[in-house]
Structure 1
């Protein structure tokens, strides 16, 4: 068994958190091809992305309470089994409807990875150190989506698109075996929660009435939805509009992921020194400026591939700064229901992203404008979430804590 605080544990947890990005990024180069091979419209093909995040969102509401009651490991293994089976199901799909169904099932299994991977880090490292470790894990797991589109693009040169899902099924099987035999349970007996429906509802009610939780969750969700806007539109914009070959799409995507990695490294290095909120000011400002710059160029009909990629690199730097900090901020105060907090955060994040992805797909105009408008709006909303919700709520909490401390001293 790996030690809970070992690098090996962080690496394997990063590999399960990466299930979501891998399940979307690897087959992005194949999206335009699916329109012809499965005789489907662009709208239908993009549903395979949005339905994934819809399933991802809904299932998380179940994973959290189950993991708080029965432990992280057993629930995670159940999700991994489903993900593996559904991945092979995707590979056998012969119609777009079948692919949509198996993508939904794949999402139900995959979402256990991010929810329970984050929760296990919170269990092991506590509310303070978890932000640093989540940033480190974000840097590590970013290698997967950086490589995934390149691998997917080159697989399309040799194999059918179904080979991508066979690869994901094999990946899922390997990770399942490692978790089963090498990773320890992280839930402490004193933190086990009741699975009674009223207890679950009370926990969710407590979270929904916490301005701190809502602020961090919305900020995380909006910045992630900006990333998902790029995922939904980039293959059609880069391959169809700018004429990028399928095999080369992954290299442009890798440049974008490197932006995320640099942001995550900045967050890891300076998070303890600056604190969560100062990192959020920097990150959400980056997101707003870079997204607006991409939109402005598109509205002026200055269509330049490198400008689009450059703006998205800076936006992804913001994503790398913001997401680990907001996750730690949202889960930090809730040690006895960390799984439920992680699940509700993930539900909100994936649900908003799924809706945004459907809007981007439905309104795609053949140019970068719709994608850029969505990215810009999500950056602005993440910035607004900080200034209008997080800052006032945390300032009030610090003031209340200060008053309580003064009373104790007197």
Structure 2
């Protein structure tokens, strides 16, 4: 495995880290949002719920879309959406705007881990693929464990500071754009059907990783 190939794995690992951290980051922060947003605990709970809903819905589409136009062409915008929407959440003046931006952010998160896993499957042979998937597994676990601590620590400054963490996917998008190869060289035109959409639900591992 060459140095460039190892670098690809590092990028995919970081993508997966942020994909997992996207949900876990705000867990300890929700109670802190109640007073600044002048909202109830139930209403603030939608900050996570609407994000999860958006992620679950759009994850159903991204497989077919990347088959049609390419993996990298979707991964890079997903990273940008996540980072830009995260900054928007930081600036959100009220809960309504925050929920809209969280829905948009969920769209970005939806493509990150699944596309990274798909690209690994297309880039590497069996032995290197096992190594790469192992790295992904480790980084997603690190993301799940560390994100609540990161979010909680940033929230000590202000309730909206944790959203700035998402902005790190913007430079990651630039790096992915210039470094990663397109793995789906000859995209296939495929219709998005309900059968194809719901076949994604059979991949329990993807949903486990994301949620």
Question: Which position in structure 2 is the counterpart of 1:39?
Answer: 38
Deviation of 1:116 after TM superposition, in Å, equals: 0.7
CA distance in structure 1 between the aligned counterparts of 2:204 and 2:23, rounded to whole angstroms: 22
Question: Which position in structure 2 is the counterpart of 1:152?
Answer: 151
Question: Which position in structure 2 is the counterpart of 1:133?
Answer: 132
Question: Which position in structure 1 is the counterpart of 2:161?
Answer: 163
SS of residue in 2 equivalent to 1:28 = coil
Deviation of 1:110 after TM superposition, in Å, equals: 1.8
Question: Which position in structure 2 is the counterpart of 1:174?
Answer: 171
CA distance in structure 1 between the aligned counterparts of 2:195 and 2:129, rounded to whole angstroms: 21
**Counterpart pick for 2:181 among 181, 184, 191:** 184
Q: 1:85 to 1:72 in 2, by over 3 A?
A: same
Q: Does 1:194 find its partner at 2:189?
A: yes
SS of residue in 2 equivalent to 1:142 = helix
Question: Which position in structure 1 is the counterpart of 2:75?
Answer: 76
Unaligned regions of 5+ residues in structure 2, if any? none
Paired residues of 1:83 and 1:106 also in contact (CA < 8 A): yes
CA distance in structure 2 between the aligned counterparts of 1:12 and 1:91, rounded to whole angstroms: 25
Kindly report which structure 2 residues correspond to 1:230-241, keeping only aligned pairs within 5 A, or say none.
Answer: none
SS of residue in 1 equivalent to 2:203 = helix
CA distance in structure 2 between the aligned counterparts of 1:218 and 1:136, rounded to whole angstroms: 19
CA distance in structure 1 between the aligned counterparts of 2:41 and 2:98, rounded to whole angstroms: 14
Paired residues of 1:4 and 1:184 also in contact (CA < 8 A): no
Q: 1:24 to 1:39 in 2, by over 3 A?
A: same
SS of residue in 1 equivalent to 2:35 = helix
Q: Which moved more, 1:5-14 or 1:67-76?
A: 5-14
TM-score, normalising length: structure 1: 0.46
- Structure with the bigger RCO (C-alpha within 8 Å, sep 6+) is 2
CA distance in structure 2 between the aligned counterparts of 1:204 and 1:161, rounded to whole angstroms: 40
SS of residue in 1 equivalent to 2:119 = helix
TM-score, normalising length: structure 2: 0.85
CA distance in structure 2 between the aligned counterparts of 1:33 and 1:79, rounded to whole angstroms: 28
Structure number with greater Rg is: 1
Per-residue Cα deviation, 1:285-304 (whole angstroms, up to 9, x for no partner): xxxxxxxxxxxxxxxxxxxx
CA distance in structure 1 between the aligned counterparts of 2:130 and 2:53, rounded to whole angstroms: 26
Matched length: 211
CA distance in structure 1 between the aligned counterparts of 2:204 and 2:143, rounded to whole angstroms: 26
CA distance in structure 1 between the aligned counterparts of 2:113 and 2:19, rounded to whole angstroms: 7
Unaligned regions of 5+ residues in structure 1, if any? 225-322, 324-349, 354-410
Deviation of 1:52 after TM superposition, in Å, equals: 0.9
Deviation of 1:127 after TM superposition, in Å, equals: 6.9
**Counterpart pick for 2:203 among 214, 217, 225:** 217
RMSD: 2.8
Deviation of 1:129 after TM superposition, in Å, equals: 6.2
Kindly report which structure 2 residues correspond to 1:359-370, keeping only aligned pairs within 5 A, or say none.
Answer: none
Question: Which position in structure 1 is the counterpart of 2:11?
Answer: 12
Q: 1:40 to 1:47 in 2, by over 3 A?
A: same
Kindly report which structure 2 residues correspond to 1:288-327, keeping only aligned pairs within 5 A, or say none.
Answer: none
Question: Which position in structure 2 is the counterpart of 1:100?
Answer: 99
CA distance in structure 1 between the aligned counterparts of 2:45 and 2:160, rounded to whole angstroms: 17
Deviation of 1:33 after TM superposition, in Å, equals: 0.7
